[in-house]
Structure 1
């Protein structure tokens, strides 16, 4: 079998790169063994504002301009609902935070995203005496549904192999890579924190961070917006809400933990005052980077091997941007944005 690309991994990064290939008429096959769960358990928020500091997310407008049309295209092609438009409400903890919000809303990069209206809390189930600030142009991508639908489509086209990728079988010959009976011009590794076991990118400066989410049933809460205050609350259907998320750097198992559940519930009980029931808990390992930028680039020795990784907590926003950067680098020799180029760590 001859193809243009082999892709290893079909989370947000892998799907984003597949979409670049499809848009440009390139052939590809995908390997994925479902061992990496970070995309599947992602909250899926796209929010252009860092709500802890009231600052703009790096290249947020450019990212959203690429990401939202891409998810709309996937929705249409796969006949699934992925993009749920909803505002994000940031609970204020003091009058000082209200004043900081007003001051920040005048900044050029944030004025289109931060409403200047302070929203009064009229929901008895929420503890918010100082009200909320509203972030505009936000929403949630149903990442789990997207991955499941995307895999189904690839399986029907017979271009998805659901099996571990055997690095020791991969070889290079002239200007191609060879894997078993497959020949490809290029291979892209988009395998999340599993890249640390990849001999071609094992020294990647990736910092795995375990994250956990809860799903609660809260019939009395009745909110149709994302609520951010210590934890975030994301409404689903049928009075269900996602609660998250935690960060853990020592326990890197993909098993759920009592510690994370206790931490999230402690914060949640300071935010809402209604009864609720925990109905699910999920865990996954995020591929994060110290400078909070993706890892994108080329293997030093094997010039047709590439990495697309390190999307972190804002993967639904930055994934399509990073994928386009990598595609243009490979196919058109356009330099990568130096802030995501994996070579930025060479002299550190």
Structure 2
């Protein structure tokens, strides 16, 4: 019988953040992952403290950015990779009215740190922007695919990763902990993203799921070293390539790319881009989203050794480290969760 402190099911951004806390606290663990959920892998990985559709502050942005700026550089050093790319985000204005809304938001104390007070009139020859841009500060991109591939390799090298589907009916639990086949643990944390829908213990949590699709284009004449947010985002990833995204579909729960989404993204892209390009990749994934845009975290109401870590939505690289820390404090020190993230709020 193998004894560990934690069993973790799922290996996306939430799981990585939680594993890092366990490692720092000298807790032993094993991770199960069957690669069935793709939202973390296909995520663009942008982090920024401003909701650019409405010009409002991201929930707990200060606390989240602090953890982003400590966890990801540490992972880069340990894994020998580059994943944290500091990046300017320029919000393309569609009208004078949007400029005015930007200034109105920027003057608020909670936003002035994150939004430039100046209209950015940088000339970007391939971008149609007659009303110019607003600049978001303290932003960047995490290369989620590179991070997760390297992290899984490290887990495997330390015998912490089991690449197989977790079989819920093979788990037993009691006041002392959980037993899964030949593994005995004090706690089990389910960080399965949309895959939680097949989990008999947490399948009824209020997780909606929102399909997102992203294109990768190649545009040698674009020469863009900033991210552009308009009706779509345009995100440089190197070698003349850019992410273009993303769609939002609450009905389709398949993980296959669709022609309809591709056409939608291309239509929006062509409305702002004035140079030739070609599509080189098209991916899709189901984001674990909620109606109130808050995570779903907490302890099972009956089985006290079972926990959920989910609902990170479109901002997993920012929210993951923050909510993982909150969950660890609940488990180890019985510190109550903020009701805003407690899945039992519903």
Q: What CA deviation, in whole Å up to 9, does each residue of 1:270-314 have, x standing for no partner?
A: 111110000000011111000000000011111010000010001
**Can you give the 5+ residue segments of structure 1 that lack an aligned partner in the other structure?**
none
Partner of 1:107: 108
Task: Measure how far apart 1:124 and its partner are.
Answer: 2.0
Q: 1: distance between equivalents of 2:322 and 2:77?
A: 20
Task: Measure how far apart 1:121 and its partner are.
Answer: 4.2
Q: What CA deviation, in whole Å up to 9, does each residue of 1:199-225 have, x standing for no partner?
A: 010111000111110000011111111
C-alpha RMSD of matched pairs (Å): 0.7
Partner of 2:18: 17
Contact 1:121 1:129 survives alignment (8 Å): no
Q: 2: distance between equivalents of 1:261 and 1:157?
A: 40
Q: What CA deviation, in whole Å up to 9, does each residue of 1:311-347 have, x standing for no partner?
A: 00011000100000000000011111110001101xx
Contact 2:55 2:102 survives alignment (8 Å): yes
**2:259 aligned with 1:296, yes or no?**
no
Equivalenced residue count is 345
Task: Measure how far apart 1:173 and its partner are.
Answer: 3.2
Q: 2: distance between equivalents of 1:19 and 1:334?
A: 19
Q: 2: distance between equivalents of 1:174 and 1:208?
A: 32
- 1:226-237 mapped onto 2 (5 Å cutoff): 226-237=227-238
Q: What CA deviation, in whole Å up to 9, does each residue of 1:217-250 have, x standing for no partner?
A: 0111111111000000110111100000001122
Q: 1: distance between equivalents of 2:141 and 2:245?
A: 14
- 1:140-155 mapped onto 2 (5 Å cutoff): 140-155=141-156
Partner of 2:226: 225
Q: 2: distance between equivalents of 1:86 and 1:249?
A: 29
- 1:43-54 mapped onto 2 (5 Å cutoff): 43-54=44-55
Q: 1: distance between equivalents of 2:170 and 2:246?
A: 38
Contact 2:175 2:304 survives alignment (8 Å): no
Q: 1: distance between equivalents of 2:35 and 2:249?
A: 21
Q: 2: distance between equivalents of 1:119 and 1:72?
A: 29
Q: 2: distance between equivalents of 1:306 and 1:50?
A: 29
Q: 2: distance between equivalents of 1:247 and 1:94?
A: 24
Partner of 1:259: 260
Q: 2: distance between equivalents of 1:101 and 1:204?
A: 36
- 1:137-216 mapped onto 2 (5 Å cutoff): 137-216=138-217
Q: 2: distance between equivalents of 1:174 and 1:324?
A: 23
Contact 1:90 1:227 survives alignment (8 Å): yes
Q: What CA deviation, in whole Å up to 9, does each residue of 1:31-58 have, x standing for no partner?
A: 0000000000001000100111111011
Q: 1: distance between equivalents of 2:199 and 2:261?
A: 29
Q: 2: distance between equivalents of 1:315 and 1:173?
A: 32
Contact 2:175 2:305 survives alignment (8 Å): no
User: Which runs of 4 or more aligned residues in structure 1 lie more than 3 Å from their structure 2 counterparts after TM superposition?
Assistant: none
- 1:245-256 mapped onto 2 (5 Å cutoff): 245-256=246-257
Q: Give TM-score, length-normalised by structure 2.
A: 0.99
Partner of 1:285: 286
Q: 2: distance between equivalents of 1:210 and 1:126?
A: 27
Partner of 1:68: 69
Partner of 1:123: 124
**Can you give the 5+ residue segments of structure 2 that lack an aligned partner in the other structure?**
none
Q: 2: distance between equivalents of 1:68 and 1:264?
A: 31
Partner of 1:82: 83
Partner of 1:334: 335
